Amino acid sequence: MANLLEQLLTLATAGTVMISSALTAAAPHNDINGLLYLQNRQWRSGAAYIPELREADVKGKVREMRDDAAAALEQMAADCKAETGFHLVSVSGYRSYQTQATIYQRKVKNVGSQKRADEYVARAGASEHQLGLAMDLGWEYKEKGKLRLYSGTSNKFPNSAAGAWATENCWKYGFILRYQEGWEDVTGYKAEEWHFRYVGRENAEKIYANQMPLETYLILLRQEVLMDIVLGAEKE
């Protein structure tokens, strides 16, 4: 990695390449309006950021998402119903900075300390829900012969017909299952088998195929773009 950076600096100093636009492409995690913006415990956004939103036309509550994510969710929910007979249900989409702050403080009060609260809830500015690209999903189920909407997160989700389908097929619609078991040291969050993040079809397909966290994918993507800069400059 050090040699790569040295080559980039040498090329830039010599004026042999224009790398500003390519370097921007190598850092999509910094583009808050892009599909790959990284928001977690280390990378946060401020209270002023509010994306353009609309309500996704799906069953459930808190259905606000960015338009591209909402459209993808609508198609995914429709196909899930067609293939499994069950509806995917919106549980929690967009949350403002202030809403996340309230949720976090409530958890601190309930568990008695910030340290313990951090194990369960993101602090304000650290939740992907603020981006309008994340959705916690539930499912519609039958109870005593009546259809009911599951309205909370649960580890039972991936074992439901709708949940298992979403886990296997979400990438086809541009979503990834963001927090998986075994990824905690990378993502900073415990496994949440109901939390789906929209990243676009091309990115989702690669992430799903390689079964890697978004953080790892972004590192590899950055290295690939930087290497292309070096190799391209050497050919000139």
**Using CA atoms in the order 180, 183, 186, 189, what is the torsion angle rounded to 10 degrees?**
50
192: annotated active-site residue: yes
The SS3 of residue 200 is coil
Farthest CA pair distance, the chain: 74
> Which among 74, 192, 205, 215 is annotated as catalytic?
192
- Residue 121 CA to residue 103 CA, distance in Å, equals 8
Place of tokens 């650290």: 126
- Residue 235 CA to residue 158 CA, distance in Å, equals 49
Instruction: Catalogue the active-site residues.
Output: 192
